[in-house]
Structure 1
């Protein structure tokens, strides 16, 4: 895998009151918040997925090329179910923060999110690459 393959191939918006941790209160100017440990868990989960792909796999490279005209954005929010939709030249997946919080292992929770989001993107945008969950399970 190339060094570029090590980076999560989508943007993430963290819009969940359940995941935020206030680190500074600036009064009228707002609060500084963090998603304590979740970004690190996502990065670690992605590296694990890439490592689980078969040796010499070009899946990540093929996915990046196929999604150039229909990028993926994931919003982690306080919705009740996973949903995906096309719009604004890309594809968005809303993912419930509650699903992340069900387990004790942040990395395992993020792995599930990544596989779910990317599989929906590949399927709904007809990107012409195998589902990521199939590529990983075929290793």
Structure 2
């Protein structure tokens, strides 16, 4: 018995060895697109860009709670969508001008969140 258990263990480990490859349905471009908002620094309130910067244009992010059973609209998600829009303009910064949460139901949304800002390119990124 004391020789049987190690022999079985070695056979099981030997079965795991081989030339295995990993195939995924994930697209590397989609992953880069998903994380591109993290490359944009958000400047809001007392945190403002230091040094010269170039304005690339206005951007916005908007979320909508379509039905009562959906997740409520959030300002943080709207801000992330604005960061993604700034990244689409090849900006590395976003100066938030205003974020608004509208909890009054409209024809299309139960609640809505909106963030508007300027997409900028800075030479110095404040951390």
Tell me the TM-score normalized by structure 1: 0.22
Q: Which has the larger radius of gyration?
A: 2
Higher strand share: 2
Higher relative contact order (CA 8 A, sep 6+): 2
Higher helix share: 1
Tell me the TM-score normalized by structure 2: 0.23
